[in-house]
Amino acid sequence: MIEFLKEDHLYLVDGVITPSVTQILQFLFPDKYKDVPPEILAKKAEYGSILHKVIEIAEQEQMFEIEALRQKIKGINYLIELSFKQYLKIKEKYNIDVLEQEQIVAYKDYYCGTFDMIAKVDGKKSLIDIKTTAELDIEYLSWQLSFYELAKGEQFEKLYVIWLPKKSLGELKEIPRKPKKELLRVLKEYLDCRNNE
């Protein structure tokens, strides 16, 4: 059984604390956010969380009017509204049909993670992450989505990011997949390093 303790951001597999995809990525990219002050990171994370929630509830309830969503979700401001409109444009342009959202997956008992969505994109079953960062890190996303795919145990036709930066036009970008051999090599390095601490 997999549990997620939201307050502590911890995954448990059969009661045992299990590493997350985020922790493996921090091992792979140790300096990714080192120059960003913690308060800015916290603000960006809050913005991203609210927008994710807006998209999740909109898709879950097939409710795409921002005013109706405001009744359900706190913190929807003008920028989130603009980003949500960009999401709707991308959804229409690429004929995105969401099949699953915010699902926890685990690769054996080695690691866990929560992917944003599985959707048909122009008819192709795809694994998708939603990002609100000012710049897109394709290499980071390639590892992130590939680790989710491995944990899901299903090969998708495509991996994508829906990129919704503040005050900018949104984009759908295809993300290259990492080979399973590479994922397992990095996972072994991470686990060995963790066990030696």
Full domain range(s) for residue 34: 2-195
Flag whether pLDDT at 33 surpasses 80.
no
DSSP state of 20: B
What's the CATH code of the domain at 131? Answer: 3.40.1350.10
Flag whether pLDDT at 197 surpasses 70.
no
The residues, any chain, with a CB within 8 Å of residue 39's CB and separated by 6 or more, are none
Please give the Cα distance from 41 to 36 (Å, whole number).
7
Please give the Cα distance from 162 to 78 (Å, whole number).
19
Mean pLDDT of 112-120: 96
Q: Dump pLDDT digits (tens) for 75-108.
A: 999 999 999 999 999 999 999 999 999 999 999 8
DSSP state of 36: S
Q: What's the whole-number average pLDDT of the chain?
A: 91
The total number of structural domains that make up the chain: 1
